[in-house]
Amino acid sequence: DIQMTQSPSSLSASVGDRVTITCRASQSITSYLNWYQHKPGKGPKLLIYAASRLQSGVPSRFSGSGSGTDFTLTISSLQPEDFATYFCQQSYSTPYTFGRGTKLEIK
């Protein structure tokens, strides 16, 4: 299985801050890396697919980059609705695997 290592596990930030979350795969997954936002009581929401492609309807303050084994999710200017947990996931090969998540909290 491909292991996904995500960091940090938690992050405190303020509205308007720029934040970056990283995800590392245990082997190359080319660009098959996806980012999700997860809020309590809801299903995860796809933000970024194929490492850098913004899912339809997702605000442009979200962006993704990387290829191979190292990837980042950046939120350029945090909004109140962005405080949530973020997961990366590889869809390069099954079994699909997720990072452990980054909980983004209000400072």
Partner 1 sequence: QVQLQESGPGLVKPSQTLSLTCTVSGVSISSGGHYWSWIRQLPGKGLEWIGYIYYSGNADYTPSLKSRVTVSVDTPKNQFSLRLSSVTAADTAVYYCARGGGTVYYAMDVWGQGTTVTVSS
Identify the DSSP state of 85.
Answer: E
What residues have CB less than 8 Å from 12, skipping those under 6 apart?
105, 106, 107
> Could you tell me the smallest distance in angstroms from the CB atom of residue 28 to partner 1?
15
Rule CB under 8 A: is residue 100 a binding residue for partner 1?
Answer: yes
Using CB under 8 A as the binding rule, the residues of this chain from 19 to 38 that contact partner 1 are: 31-32, 34, 36
Of the pair 5, 20, the CB lying nearest partner 1 is at: 5
Rule CB under 8 A: is residue 96 a binding residue for partner 1?
Answer: yes
Binding-site member from 23, 25, 49, 82 for partner 1 (CB under 8 A): 49
Rounded Cα–Cα distance for residues 51 and 32 (Å): 6
Angle at 57 (CA atoms; ends 56, 59), nearest 5 degrees: 115
Torsion sign over Cα 84, 88, 21, 50: negative
> Could you tell me the smallest distance in angstroms from the CB atom of residue 106 to partner 1?
21
Q: Which residues bind partner 1 (CB under 8 A)?
A: 1, 31-32, 34, 36, 41-46, 49-50, 53, 55, 87, 89, 91, 94-101
